[in-house]
Every structure is written in structure tokens, then in C-alpha cells.
A and B are shown apart, each in its own frame.
Chain A
Amino acid sequence: MKKYLLLLGLFGGSAALTSCEKYLDVNNNPNNPVVSTPNFLLPGIISNGIQTQMFTALRTPYITQYVVSRTANSGGNDQYYFTNAQSTNTFNYSYFQSGGNIGPMIAAAQAEGSAYYVGAGKIMQALILAHATDMLGDVPYTEAYLGGSNYTPKYDSQQQIYATINQLCDEGIVEMQKPASANFRPFYSTSPSESGDILYKGDASKWVRLAYTLKARQAQHLTKKQNYDPAAVLALCDKGFTSSSDDAQINFQTAVLPLANTTNIFGVTRSNFGGATFAANVVKYLNGTTYPGVIDPRWGVLVPTTSTGIDPGLGTAATTTGINVTPGSSPAVTDFYGGWYARDLGYFEVLTYHELKFIQAEAYFRAGNLQQAYTALREGVRANMAKVGGGGTYSPPTVAFPTISTAQINAYLASAAMPQTAGAITLRQIMEQKYLAMFLNPDVWSDMRRLDFRSDVYVNFAYPSRANPVLAAGTTASARFPRRLLPGATEVTYNPNAVAKLFSDAGATTNDDYVTKPLWFDMP
């Protein structure tokens, strides 16, 4: 009996030992893969990378006075009150939702030999970093994306980030200029499902032009620097976008599960702007106030013709009173939702041909080549008007947009709002046309900052009523405006040492103080 038991025990024991290892080997996730081919990672990198800018655009249009709060003295961004939470998405989407996937995608693309994916990864990283640093200043890069190995990454200086952006663009351009044969995998595919390059549907040459346009934008930010070189900017512009069909933009779409929140961040469905109305700053340009008698063809497109425009801090009546509402909306919604850029299924522009034309115009202007500046300015205005002048009816709320004819564009180009000769061109004209064409775009704030919100350039810009007293008490004209966003709330909590360094580097002790400190690009 005992012998049998012993044998049984030995047999059982040895069997157990050999099967032990196998029994424990069940820690591979059956729900989701840990690796992916690059074509399924790139769509999210592109869309979420661009969505980051949409989140920033919930804030910056109040600073740049496209919109103001409908509530008088609301204590919001239009009166220069900021919170860390308002910056959280700008930071977090840059690094988690989009940026965190770039490294693994590039690695997968390099492993299989797909040059365009490597290039797109680098250019998207440059685009993401450029936006993050222009809004926030110093941001992590050299110690970013390290997961549990470094969960308190240090921040790199903006100067270093600018160099990184250029380097990433250059490296991306090299990859994108390789022949299609250098790719193991098609750069874009619709079968069996859409994957790969959802931005340009596989056109690598457009990525090259995007990279150059981005480089041009960043280089143009440095107009305060001694070594600012308009010729270098113009050289980049020459390699940039060649028409509006090159525009880097995301087209919004109806949300179909499992996709969510794919409609316009400015739209009525996402309802982020129910408490906003158009600022007087923008209305005055369009309705013939700034240039008496000159009605912009975009009046009624960008802004409903019933809008009065309000200066920040003053507020307007409730929507129930029918003032500053979308015409015909029932129940009444704010007039903001009656604009072209608030269409639920509209588009969000990151970087456009018309912006490039204004960059070119300013660089030529600064280089003293007024004739070329004049040409570029007119082309920028024309391109934007043509793009938003398609007309059509959209809902909700139901809004019919007028078309803008070539004749109308030409009439405007011939109006008092525009210089009629190269010699008559001014910086103000370039910047105000750029401002109107880049409607709601966060980078407009970069222009305003490097031009110190000059009242001779931005003539309609109004200092907010009952502005944050810390800013309002600023002793110099340029210190009275917000120059950067606060660090994201999650960074304050989870990376406090890095945030403390931001404050000490900036020489700020309070949040209100901090936002008035110019960034590196904004300093001589």
C-alpha cells in the first residue's frame, strides 16, 4: 500500500513540475495585442495629435478675441483668468493619446521597412511638440515616453524643443522623399479597413510640404530674435504648401460606435461654446466698422450677420431674449453655433496654404520685398475666401451659408481693407488678414504675443473690462497680456518638481504671475 502511494506521489510530483511552467504561462492579454503594425497606429497619432490643438482652441479664441463670454464679468479666459485644468488636455493629449504611440509605431515601421510611416511619425512628433511648446513653453521630450522607468520626466527648454522640431522635420523629409519602393507596406489603405495616412491618403509629397510649412511657421515665430532671417523663412515657404488642397486638417464625422466625439469641437453637439458669443474685435472687421463701408464677403459665413459683437467682460443678453443668437434656431442657441467653423461636420485646420501665404507675406515684408509681400497677401486672402465660400446648408442648428463668388473676392481685394499697391502694404494689413483667415486657430495667439498685442496692428483688440487685476496692473503694455498657458493640472500634481522649475525659471510665484511671462520664442 505504502509503495503504491509513494509511486503515485512521485509520478504526480514530476508531472506537476513539468506542467507547472505551462500552467502559469497565461499572462498574455487575450483582449488586445501588445504590438501593432504601423498602419493601425498612425490614424490615432494623426487624429489625436490634431485633436490636441482642438482642446487648446477651447481656450485661445478667448485670448485672441474671436469669442467672449456671454456672461458679464464671468471671470473667464477672456478676462485673463486661467486654471491649470484648462491646460490639462493640451499637455495630456500631446503625450498620452497621440505622442505615446509614435515611438512604438516608428520602431514597428523601421523593423518592417516602411519609410513613410517613420517619416510620418517624425513629422507628427514635430507638429505635436511645436504646438505644445508654443502654448506651454518648456515641455518634456528627452525624458518623455519612458513609462514606469521615469514617471517624473524633466522638461526641455523651448530653445531645445525648437531645435528638435527642426531636426524631426528634416529627418521626416528624408524618409518621405524615399521612393514608394522603400516601403514594405502601402502608406494608405482602405481595405480591409481604412488605415495608414488618414491625413493625406498616402501622398508623401504633401507630408514633405507639411514639414517645410511647419518649419516656416516655427521660424517665423522668432521675429524678435536678433538672428531672425526672413530669407531662411522664405526658402522654407518655397518648399511648403502649394494650394489649399495641401491643407493639414481633420474633417469631422458623425460619431459611429465605437468612435465617439468625432463631431466638431466648436459645434453644437459637443456644446463647448454655449456660453460664448463673438467678440467685437472680429465683428468689426467683417461688418464694415473697421473699414467703413467694406463688408467682408465672409460676414454671414464666419459670423451671422445679426451678431453685434461684444467686448470681453461686458456680456450680452441671455439666448432666450433672441440677442446674439443663431438666426432661426429654436430653441435659441448662441450665434457662435451659426458660424462656418461651428458646423458639426466641418473641419479643423492645423496648418494651411493660406497661413503659409501670410507667413510669406510677412517675411517678404520684413525683408523689404514689398511687391512679393503684396502678392502673397492677396493670394492668402483669396485662398481663404474661396475655401470658406462654398456655401451650403448645415444643421443643427439649421444655417444656410452664402457662397462667395470670385467677383466678391476681387471686389474685396480692391477695397479699402486691402493695400492697392505694393508700396501701401503694412504689417497691420498682413496680420489682420492672417487673423481673419486663421479663424479660431490657436497659433494666432503666437502672432499676437510676438507682436506684443500691438494696438497699431490689432486695432480692434480691446483690453478686457474688469480683467484679472494681476495682469491689469502690469506696468508695461506687453506685460498686461497672457503669454503662456499654465502647466496642466495633472503635471502640478504628478510632476511637481518639474512644475516648480518652470516657475523658478520664469521668475514667477503665482499662476497669475506665471501666465504673463513671455516664452523663449517671444523674447529677443
Chain B
Amino acid sequence: MKKFYWLPFALLPSALVAPPGYAQTTPGAAAPAPAGTVTGVVRQSTDRTPLPGVNVIVKGTSNGTATDANGRYTLAGVPAGATLVFSFVGYTAQERRADGSTLDVALAADTRDLDEVVVLGYGIKQERRDLVTAVQEVTSKDIIDSRQPNIVNALQGKVAGVNITSSGGGAGEGASIVIRGGTSLDGDNQPLFIIDGMIMDNSSFQESTAPGGGSAFNGLLGRSVGAANRAGDLNPEDIASMTVLKGPAAAALYGLRAANGAVVITTKKGQAGRTQLNFRSQFSIDEVNRLPKMQDQYARGSNGIADATTRVSFGPRFQADQPIYDNLGNFFRKGYSYQNFVNMSGGSDKVSFFASASNLQQSGITPQSKYDKTTVRLSGSAQISPKLSVTGSAQYLNSGATRPLQGPGLLTSAGTSSGGFMLSLLNWPRNDDARNYLNPDGSRRRLLPLGSGTDADADNPYWAAERNPQTDRTNRFVGNVQLSFAPVKWLTLSHNIGTDWYTSRSTSVRAVGTSQVSNQNGGIAETVDQTRLTTATTLATFSHDFGEKLRGSLILGNTIEENRTEAVDYLGLIFQNPNFIGLNNTVTRSALQRDAKRHLIGNFARLSATIFDQLIVELQARYDQSSTLPRPDEGKIFGKGFLYGSAAAGYEFTKVLGLDQNPILNYGKLRASVAEVGRDTGPYRVLSPLTSNTYIGGGVRNDFYGSNPNLKPERTRTYEAGINLQFFKNRLSLDFNYYRSRTIDQLIAPRVSQATGFILQYINGGVVTNEGQEISLSGTPVRTAGGFSWDVLLNFYHNTNNVESLPAPLTVVYQSDAFITNVHEGGAFPGHAISGIAASDFARVNDPNSPYNGQVIINATTGFPTVNPTFVYAGNRAPRFTTQLTNTFTYKGLSLSTLFDFRVGGVVVNGNDYYQTTVGTSNRTLDRYKTVVFDGVVATRDASGNTTYAPNTRPTELTQSYYTTVLNTVGTPFIEDGSWARLRYLTLSYALPARWLGGSSSFLKGIELNVTGRNLVLLTKYSGADPETASAGAGVRGGGSGGIDYGNVPATRGVDMGLRVNF
């Protein structure tokens, strides 16, 4: 008999395509009978142990029951030929026709089954056994179990080869995701997000780079506010699965924007059958996890003497009876969040629907901060005729936040005093109570008087949180419609068109009387971003099964993308009425337009063939034409086309060895692939645009960025090999991958000699390599007949990222968005990772012939170490390896789930300590007045001009000047190891037994209670706050801003209490 393996329509419920081979039926069913009673046993498919608590329901009715402790069920009133639906959390639901009075069923766990279908994007689904590239899927249950409102955070620990970094602990703050290390020195290294076959935006607000914009304009820098990442807008309850395609082999099909991998999101669709209603409610409490430490010995002053003209704490020792305020600790409060989710699904064989709504209200751990998110979604599908079907989804997302000004603050150079709330707290003298922030007349209580035209006094953090709020609001629509037409059995034509469209409004207020530079008379800055991503994809899918020897599919596709942004920045300064916050109330105003459009046409083909049911071959090719790349040969500034693709093969060696039924190793597949993927650049980089001259005379001048009429695509080639082994009848699964990638012709805009006429120049050049291993181990070590089970998921990931070369004469490519303190900046050095950190170091002997080579040079006069202001490579912020371990223990309705997260290696810049050292609040400064002899050497120059070195013997006192003029200029002492071990979450949930709810006939189908603790344990040698931090936000390109801890909202720990009710 010929079997047809269809690559199914996107709208078909996955249950329909589960091949029949794994459904266990009891042969010899009796003849059909009228409405009667059906009995049977539900077992676990791999080891045949009975499954208690499985819901059994007559499809399309409310008639149902649940299995008992022995997996046995009895259901009365089943019409002849009716379909029974068997469902249980963590298992793939099954629908079986009740043709007799007994029906035994085996359910498969829904995460690791080989026959499970993985959605690869564009609605293409593939059976797991046919996968030949590195793909890992995270299911709805895992996403919900993590209790994370941001789906990027929900991926944490679930996928090997992925590095997720939360920016900070602010309400609604973003997180970045990088798969297999970054490939691009200067570009965005986060993966492409695809939702229901169309491209989705996951950007973070960043300062506009337009001259007169961004830092010079509204000052709302990425590093001044902990902005959201746009994927966080989604409702986690709407997501059926997230598939992470790790390498370019997996992503070659999805176009140049997937060069860093892809996260393919499939949303929930309605299930045929009884209408189901789910309700989930969650209440969470958060508090700050760790805070920087502050010295409590010395009060405000300089050089040991009280001094009212300074804010620094180099003053006298506290008296015994003098109050010492915990300004830092007092500032943070408990944050609360309330989340409610409701969703409903149902339908008939022909038409189904899914509707959901969610709401989140959160108050952050800093005063005034809050975040809210509301989502509404409706999706449906209809089988119009046997050949034609349509499916569609529409969701409206609304989110917004009020956030504190953090980091260096607005328009201030790094390290100055009028920065964000955290720096203000860190330099607040502890003999003064920062909570007392208003004068009797309602004005801000100052520590220092206002100078003429200058202001050295930092804004009080309470005052700033109240009067200088940074707010944002996003209104977003994401929707698509897909039409499928299957004229013949072996061909499906489909068209999917969708859009992700949002308006985001970010407002920054500076109150009258603020210390923010150039804004002392108040002001308001607003950026309105309208972004629209449209994707239209047409696919022709040919599939055929020639029996045992060959089955396969060919997909031909075309996709058209439009990426459009229309942004305006407004700035108004000087409030006429100091108490009215509004643009019309300002004296001077300016506006800036930033529109961008990028078009792409991609044509692709994908051939997948399975030979003798054991050898899988997959070939992919794609030809992209991008509007952003020029065709210099044709004299055109747009539309360069380029071809790339992949070849992959997998071999199920267990078939030929006859191991299918082996009790130990029952499945094994080797796979290997090679892939190349191209990448385009941003719009308008071919011809250099002019820009406003913001100095006297106005007019126009050249832009910061020099364009380049000869840009070509950046290319990444990846080799990958892996093995997948399944042991003990699929009880244990091991997946190992090795990959090596090389990215050439980097599209970068490095700073260049300004004699070029520009500050930065778009060029192609530089090579970055990544090499790594991923091990994923999953299984169920214990499952007893008594209903106890223990599931394990272990992910190990190691990546070596290396900048092989930079275009001459560049010695480093800096990430200026990650230039946070005066002495540290993110930078990619040749021979090191792109996530390197550059810092100034002590001046050292640089003479290989000297016995003192490498030693610190001490100033002979002062006895202090000397500093070399030139930045040098000072460590890699990416971890050496990470391991995450998820354990789930289930006993009947009780479930305990934990995620341990281990990170080894990777440095963190303790910018808070650096700042505190210069203002005298760091514990480091408790060594003040001690006399020490610094390790190092003193240089002397002999008569002939040669420098000789001798060990330093000069005792010197650690004066204020040592901290403020020596340590203040050197970055390396503030770089620490960021390794950690943490219990990321622990969730205990309990599903009430069905009989408590009134049995199968009750309208209440299930109640689950859960309590989750997040970040309960953090073990790290890092001396500052939580080392998982990215103080310039998730949107920083290149090596990102992870591992820079400077003035942002510290990470939190918390408890969630939730209730889930199914009707």
C-alpha cells in the first residue's frame, strides 16, 4: 500500500498529520454498536505504563471522563462511530474513532517524539525524524511554565546554543537573544523572528543616529532607558510552539535576515471539538535581587574634611551617634504584577476558531515605574472545499511603560554626575537622606547650588523618577491570511500574506529645575516610530511517496518583503508654564524626520528526499534581491541579487543495523550539512546623504556616515555535523552538534580617519568565525506505574567566537552604543571575540627583554601606578560555556519543575563600582589613608637615554586623589568574572483531581494551582548586582551590551502565584 506523506497545510491541526504507525490499537474490535459505553486503558506509548488523569471526551460534545489510577476509563453515551479525544498535559492529544466497546490508546509525550511535527516557517512542517539540521522546539507548556511575560526570556534554558541576556530588572525591560555567537561585527546579531510565516519585528528602541537626532536631540538613548524588545509584546499563551533554527543551513530558506538563525513562532489555532475555555491568572511579587555595596564609614566631604561644596564621600568618619542612611536600599520597593489570560477555542471539522485576551499590570521595583500589556487575538480556519482552505489570524497588542532614567542619563557624557537614578543613589552621601527630596516651596532639594550655566548636582532619584519620567506606548497589529489550494494530491499551492504594524511613541520629560545638561529649563522629547513589516509568500509544495525506496518533497517559493519605518522626533525646550508638560508649552521646538524603506524579493527552492526510509537529503537554494545593495556594474543603487543555499544529509544508521526494537539504543541518526547565507545592509548606504548643519549658519553638511557605491553582501558559510541518539525506547534522547562558521565581507561602518570627510564609513571587510558544540540530553529517567515521573532536559553549549581579521588598518571595531563608562567600551579585537571589552589599563613595562616585562610602572614622584589611556582588550563578555538543567517531577496532579542555570566564564564590567570609587562610596575606598607600596617598577632614564626599571619601594598614602585621578582613569581593575550558578525558577503546580470538580460531567474541566519562585538562588563571585545585565539594552549591534553593569535597574527575584481553570 502506498502511503502519502503530505507536507500539510498550515491550518491543519497537527494531530491530523500524526502518522498512524504510532497509534496503538487493539485489534479485533467488535462490530459497530449504537450509543453505548466504551472502556479502555490509556498507556504511555514508550513503556506501556498506564497513564492516570487523561481526559477522554466525545468529540464535539461535553461528554467526557478521566482515566483512573490504573489508566482505565469508562465513558457512557458514546454514539456509534463517534470520535474520542484523549488529552493529557505533556502528551500529544489523540483522536480515535470509537468503533467498539473497548478502545485502548497509547499517548506519546509531546516534546521528544520522533514523529512530532516541527514547524520550520512559511507554514512548512517537517517530521522530526526527517530533520537534518539543528532545530530545537519549545512547546507551549514550557513557555507557560517559565512564567515569563517576555517570550524571549521564556526560551532561557530550553535550547542549546542560545544565549539570552536580560537587560535589567526594570518593569517590561527587554532581553536579547543570540544564537551560536554573533557573526556580524557591527550588525544586529539577533535571530530573525517569524510568526505564522511572516517576519516579525523584535527591535529595541535605540537612539536615532541621524545628526541632530538621538543623543544630540531627544537624549533618549538606548543606554539611558531600559527599553523593551518588541517580541515581548506577544501573549505567551497564544504561542503553540517556538522553533529555533540555529544555523544558516536551517535558515537558508528564510532569507538573508536569518543569517543569525531564526525563531519560528506558531500561534495556537482552534481545535475541532468541544469549545474549550481556559483561564489563567497570576500574581507576582518582585524585589531587587542584589544591590551594589556601599561603604558606611565616611561621610560627605573631601580629603577627610566635611565639605558642602561637593557630593563625594571622602569626608570625615561617621560619628557614633550620626545617622547613616541606606539610600540605595530605601529606594527600591516591591514590584507587583497581575496577569490574566483567557482563551477559547473550538470548531467543527470544517471551521475552527481560537480567541484569546490577556492583560498584564506591573509596578516595577523603582518608584513610579510600571509596565502594562494587553493583547487580543482571534484566529480561525475554514475548509471551504476539499481542495481549498483558508486560515487567518489577527492580534492587537498594546504595551507601555514608565521607566526611570538610568545609566549616564540624558545628554551627559559618561561618568558625570547628572546621570540616571542609580548613579545619583550611588553617589548620594550617606549622612543625607535622599528620601527628603523637596524643599518646602515644592522645588527640588539640592545638595549643591546651581552654578552659572553649569550644574554639578545630580538629580535626586525620587525627584527624577517623579518629574523626569521616560514613557513609551506601543500599539501594534499583527495579522495574516493564508490560502491553500490542493488541486491534486501531490501538489499544494499556498499564499500567505501578513503584516506586523505598530506605532511606538517614546516620550522623555525633563522638568524645570532638572540638572540634565542643556535642559535645566525643562523640555519634552518625543519619538514616534511607525513600523510596518509586510511579507507575502507564495509556495508550491510537491510531495510524493514512492514507497519504501523514496519519498520526498519539493518546495518552490517566492517571498516579497517590505520593511518600512516612518519616524519623527520632536523636541521642545523651556516650559513656559513650568507645571504643564506638553510640547505646545515649550519655547523652542524642532523636528526631524527619519523614514526608511527596504524591499526584498526572494525566490527559493527546497528539495527534501528520504531514501529507503533512512537516508535523508535536503538541498536548498535561494536567490535574493535587496533594494539596499547596489549594482555598480549597471550603475544602479539598488537591487543587487545574490544566490546562496545549503546541502544537508542525514542517515538513520539504526535502520540498517536492525536496532529499531533494541531495548537500549533504538534510534540513531548522523547528519551533516554545509550552508552559505548572504546578508544585505540597511537602506540608503550607497549615496551619502547630506544632513542639517546644526551650527551657526544652518544649511546642510555631510552626514556622519560615508556611503559606499560598491557594497556587496556579507556572507556566512557554516559546516555542521551532528548525531541524534534515542535510548531505551525513546526514554532518553541525546543530540550533539558541532558547527563551524565563517563570516566574510562584513558590512561594517567603522570609525575611520576623518580626513576621509566622514566619521564613519560603510565598507565590506573583516572575518568572524564561530565554532561550537551543543549537547542536548532529554528523557524520562523514572516513570513508575504509580504515576510518578521524572523528566530531565539538559542543554550544554560552548562557543568560541573569534575575529579572524579586520580591514586594515583597523585594530578594533568599537560598539559605540556600549561605550558606557569613560574607561570601558565594547569592542571587537582581532584574535578575540566580537563581544570583547576594551578598557584602559595601568601602564606596563613593554620590553620582552626586561625581567620586569608586564609589570605596572609606578610614578616615582607619587608612588601611584601610572595609567595608559589607550584602550586595550580586557576580556570577553560572552560565557565560555553554559549549561541549563530542567528537572520536572510529576506525581499525579502534582508537578515540580526546576531550572538550574550554570555559566562559566565571561567577564562583567562593574561600572557601578568604578563610579562609586570615584565618588568615595565604594568599599574599595575604605583603604583610604592606608600607606602602601604598590607592586610594580619605577622607570629611570640613564644618560644615554635608555630606560631601566627597578622595583618600586616608595610607600605612599591612598589619598582621595588616588581614587579620583588614578583609579578613575583605569578600566581593568573593575572587570570581574561573571560566572554564576543559579536556580532560575522552581515551579510547583497541582492539578485538582477531576472528581473534586464534579467528575466528567462538570462544566469545570480542570483547575491547576501553581507557585513559582524566580531567581531564588544566585551563586557568583561577582561583587556587584546581578551579573546578567546589559546596561545599554537589548538592541546593541555587534557584540551587544551584555556584561556591562552601570547604573541600570538591578535584576530581580520574585514569586508567582497562579491559577489555571479549564472549562
CB contacts (< 8 Å) of B756 on chain A: these are 95, 100, 144-148, 150-151, 153
A261 and B696 CA atoms in complex are apart in Å by 9
A493 and B451 CA atoms in complex are apart in Å by 36
- In the complex, what's the smallest C-beta–C-beta distance from A500 to chain B, in angstroms? 10
Cβ of A490 < 8 Å from any Cβ of B?
Answer: yes
Do the beta carbons of B684 and A29 come within 8 Å of each other? yes
Cβ of A42 < 8 Å from any Cβ of B?
Answer: yes
Do the beta carbons of B694 and A259 come within 8 Å of each other? yes
Stretch of A173-181, A267-275, A356-364 at the chain-chain interface: A267-275
Contact of B759 among A92, A103, A258 (CB under 8 A): A92
Q: Which residue of A lies closest to B697 (CB)?
A: A43
Do the beta carbons of B697 and A144 come within 8 Å of each other? no
CB contacts (< 8 Å) of A101 on chain B: these are 701-702, 757
A32 and B593 CA atoms in complex are apart in Å by 9
Q: Which residue of B lies closest to A144 (CB)?
A: B755
A2 and B808 CA atoms in complex are apart in Å by 58
A494 and B690 CA atoms in complex are apart in Å by 23
CB contacts (< 8 Å) of B870 on chain A: these are 492
Do the beta carbons of B639 and A261 come within 8 Å of each other? no
Stretch of B288-296, B389-397, B703-711, B1001-1009 at the chain-chain interface: B703-711
Do the beta carbons of A32 and B694 come within 8 Å of each other? no
Q: Which of A25-64 contact B (CB under 8 A)?
A: 25-36, 39-48, 51
Do the beta carbons of A497 and B809 come within 8 Å of each other? yes
CB contacts (< 8 Å) of B558 on chain A: these are 16
Do the beta carbons of B595 and A30 come within 8 Å of each other? yes
CB contacts (< 8 Å) of B452 on chain A: these are 268, 329, 331, 333, 337, 396-397
Contact of A496 among B212, B755, B811 (CB under 8 A): B811
Cβ of B763 < 8 Å from any Cβ of A?
Answer: yes
Cβ of A1 < 8 Å from any Cβ of B?
Answer: yes
CB contacts (< 8 Å) of A43 on chain B: these are 693, 696-699
- In the complex, what's the smallest C-beta–C-beta distance from B814 to chain A, in angstroms? 9
Most buried by A among B590, B601, B695: B695
CB contacts (< 8 Å) of B699 on chain A: these are 36, 39-44, 195
Most buried by B among A23, A146, A494: A494
Cβ of A159 < 8 Å from any Cβ of B?
Answer: no
Cβ of A21 < 8 Å from any Cβ of B?
Answer: yes
Cβ of A83 < 8 Å from any Cβ of B?
Answer: yes
Do the beta carbons of A47 and B638 come within 8 Å of each other? no
Do the beta carbons of B757 and A145 come within 8 Å of each other? yes
Do the beta carbons of A331 and B754 come within 8 Å of each other? no
Q: Which residue of A lies closest to B691 (CB)?
A: A32
Interface string of B446-488 (1 = CB under 8 A from A): 0001111110000000000000000000000000000000010
- In the complex, what's the smallest C-beta–C-beta distance from B187 to chain A, in angstroms? 17
A494 and B755 CA atoms in complex are apart in Å by 10
A432 and B690 CA atoms in complex are apart in Å by 45
A10 and B1030 CA atoms in complex are apart in Å by 52
Cβ of B489 < 8 Å from any Cβ of A?
Answer: no
Do the beta carbons of B637 and A32 come within 8 Å of each other? no
Q: Which of A379-397 contact B (CB under 8 A)?
A: 396-397
A494 and B700 CA atoms in complex are apart in Å by 26
Cβ of A320 < 8 Å from any Cβ of B?
Answer: yes
Q: Which of A109-148 contact B (CB under 8 A)?
A: 139-140, 143-148
Q: Which residue of A lies closest to B759 (CB)?
A: A96
- In the complex, what's the smallest C-beta–C-beta distance from B23 to chain A, in angstroms? 35
Do the beta carbons of A271 and B590 come within 8 Å of each other? no
Do the beta carbons of B487 and A494 come within 8 Å of each other? no
CB contacts (< 8 Å) of B571 on chain A: these are 257
A256 and B587 CA atoms in complex are apart in Å by 10
Do the beta carbons of A41 and B701 come within 8 Å of each other? yes
A384 and B701 CA atoms in complex are apart in Å by 34
Cβ of A5 < 8 Å from any Cβ of B?
Answer: yes
Cβ of A407 < 8 Å from any Cβ of B?
Answer: no
**Known A47-B696, A258-B692; contact A34-B687, beta-carbon cutoff 8 A:** yes
CB contacts (< 8 Å) of B595 on chain A: these are 30-31
A366 and B755 CA atoms in complex are apart in Å by 38
Cβ of A308 < 8 Å from any Cβ of B?
Answer: no
A104 and B689 CA atoms in complex are apart in Å by 12
A366 and B590 CA atoms in complex are apart in Å by 55
- In the complex, what's the smallest C-beta–C-beta distance from B547 to chain A, in angstroms? 26
Cβ of A14 < 8 Å from any Cβ of B?
Answer: no
A268 and B683 CA atoms in complex are apart in Å by 42
Cβ of B309 < 8 Å from any Cβ of A?
Answer: yes
By size class, the interface of chain B is: 35 or more
Do the beta carbons of B210 and A262 come within 8 Å of each other? no
Do the beta carbons of B763 and A47 come within 8 Å of each other? no
- In the complex, what's the smallest C-beta–C-beta distance from B129 to chain A, in angstroms? 33
Contact of B698 among A21, A98, A194 (CB under 8 A): A194
Do the beta carbons of B593 and A152 come within 8 Å of each other? no
**Known A29-B684, A329-B452; contact A148-B601, beta-carbon cutoff 8 A:** no
Do the beta carbons of B684 and A27 come within 8 Å of each other? yes
Do the beta carbons of A23 and B601 come within 8 Å of each other? yes
Do the beta carbons of B692 and A140 come within 8 Å of each other? no
A147 and B684 CA atoms in complex are apart in Å by 16
Cβ of B627 < 8 Å from any Cβ of A?
Answer: yes
A238 and B750 CA atoms in complex are apart in Å by 48
**Known A258-B212, A494-B752; contact A20-B625, beta-carbon cutoff 8 A:** yes
Q: Which of B276-295 contact A (CB under 8 A)?
A: none
Cβ of B688 < 8 Å from any Cβ of A?
Answer: yes
Q: Which residue of B lies closest to A34 (CB)?
A: B687
Cβ of A99 < 8 Å from any Cβ of B?
Answer: yes
CB contacts (< 8 Å) of A45 on chain B: these are 701
Q: Which of B608-648 contact A (CB under 8 A)?
A: 625-628, 630, 636-639
Cβ of A371 < 8 Å from any Cβ of B?
Answer: no
A82 and B216 CA atoms in complex are apart in Å by 28
A27 and B639 CA atoms in complex are apart in Å by 9
Contact of B753 among A20, A250, A257, A495 (CB under 8 A): A495
CB contacts (< 8 Å) of B686 on chain A: these are 27
- In the complex, what's the smallest C-beta–C-beta distance from A76 to chain B, in angstroms? 12
Do the beta carbons of A152 and B808 come within 8 Å of each other? yes
- In the complex, what's the smallest C-beta–C-beta distance from B885 to chain A, in angstroms? 44
Most buried by A among B638, B753, B757: B753
CB contacts (< 8 Å) of B212 on chain A: these are 258, 260
Q: Which residue of A lies closest to B598 (CB)?
A: A26
CB contacts (< 8 Å) of B626 on chain A: these are 24
Contact of B695 among A42, A99, A261 (CB under 8 A): A261
Do the beta carbons of A31 and B689 come within 8 Å of each other? yes
CB contacts (< 8 Å) of B696 on chain A: these are 43, 47, 51, 198, 250, 252-253, 259, 262
A29 and B21 CA atoms in complex are apart in Å by 58
Interface string of B409-450 (1 = CB under 8 A from A): 000000000000000000000000000000000000000011
- In the complex, what's the smallest C-beta–C-beta distance from B532 to chain A, in angstroms? 14
Cβ of A453 < 8 Å from any Cβ of B?
Answer: no
Contact of B597 among A30, A95, A493, A497 (CB under 8 A): A30
A362 and B1015 CA atoms in complex are apart in Å by 78
Q: Which of A250-303 contact B (CB under 8 A)?
A: 250, 252-253, 256-262, 267-271, 274
- In the complex, what's the smallest C-beta–C-beta distance from A382 to chain B, in angstroms? 29
Beyond the given A32-B690, A493-B751, please list 19 additional residue pairs across the A-B interface where CB-CB is below 8 A.
A23-B599, A24-B599, A24-B627, A24-B639, A26-B598, A33-B689, A33-B700, A44-B700, A45-B701, A47-B696, A92-B754, A95-B756, A147-B757, A153-B755, A253-B696, A259-B695, A268-B452, A268-B454, A493-B811
Please give me the 6 A-B residue pairs with the lowest Cβ-Cβ distance, nearest first: A43-B697, A100-B757, A44-B693, A257-B590, A24-B639, A27-B638
User: What are 21 A-B interface contacts by the 8 Å CB criterion?
Assistant: A23-B560, A24-B601, A24-B625, A27-B683, A31-B593, A31-B595, A95-B755, A100-B701, A144-B756, A148-B706, A148-B762, A150-B756, A193-B698, A257-B571, A268-B453, A270-B453, A271-B453, A274-B451, A274-B454, A331-B452, A493-B811
A interface residue numbers (CB < 8 A to B): 1-2, 5, 16, 20-21, 23-36, 39-48, 51, 83, 85, 91-92, 95-101, 103-104, 139-140, 143-148, 150-153, 193-195, 198, 250, 252-253, 256-262, 267-271, 274, 318, 320, 329, 331, 333, 337, 396-397, 488, 490-498
